[in-house]
Amino acid sequence: MARWLSFFAEYNLTVEYKPGRLNVVADALSRRPDFEPVAKPNSETVTVAVMTSSVPSTTLYDDVRRAYAQDAVSGDTPRVVIPDDTDLRLQIMFEYHDAPIGGHRGREKTYLTVSRDFYWPRQYQFVRKYVRACEVCQRVKSRPSLRAPLQPLPVPAECWESISMDFVFGLPKDARGNTGILVFVDRFSKMVHLVAVPETITASGCACVFIDTIFRLHGLPRELVSDRDPRFTAEFWRSVFKSLGTRLKMSTSDHPESDGQTERAERVLEEML
């Protein structure tokens, strides 16, 4: 620019106005026809189109809500998110399944207790694989045999109206010499009472345990379901409950499934022991 200013300084220049339509040659040097816009854009249409396409769909909103509801860190009970550490997850499974307090429970019960405190991706599949590979469960647990459908007993109307009971013997002797457990199960609430008893217990002893444990806490039931153990078929047992107004229901011989409620409780007890 300085060089051109010194060059034109040698001349006396006169500036004259000339309309653009007459100054075509000069305009051609400063303007390129291909830079001219073909059509003037409608800014309002573009803005509306961008805003419309930017609004999330209803399906996206539903997916976000569903993912938030299933998020591990949400919910009423806080849970600890476990990183991708197999040894740490196996240690947690050992404490909740193999430890004495875990009791070698099944897949569903173990998953409920673990997922209550911890979370990691594909947790249910991990628990299922662990329980299925448990050596103790495979060696000790018994599988229920499939038989013809049974006629279930009527459902009681209230708690401790109908009780089922049975013995579990063959356990190690405790400090008092007891080698068995007398199991009482409320058929309505599924509540269980366990009483340690000796193998030499008689019908009168069973009646005393019943009075001290069930009658003292829950009153007299309307019916009592049991198998045909000699203690339950004894005349003393029958006469006691006849005078109390409790109806005795006994299963047929060699058919323990008739008292399935107690049998199921005993199976859980044996698994935990």
- Structural domains of the chain sorted by starting position, each given as residue range(s) with its CATH number in brackets: 80-140 (no CATH), 162-272 (3.30.420.10)
For residues 251 and 228, the answer to whether their CB atoms sit within 8 Å is: yes
Residue 70 identity: Q
pLDDT at 145 (0 to 100)? 60
Return averaged pLDDT per consecutive 10 residues of the chain, 273 residues in all.
Answer: 78 79 66 52 51 57 69 63 89 89 85 90 93 86 63 84 90 90 91 92 93 92 90 91 90 65 74 73
pLDDT at 186 (0 to 100)? 92
Other C-beta atoms closer than 10 Å to the C-beta of 260 total 16
pLDDT at 100 (0 to 100)? 81
Distance set, CA 218 to CA 10, 42, 102, 260 (Å): 125, 83, 29, 22
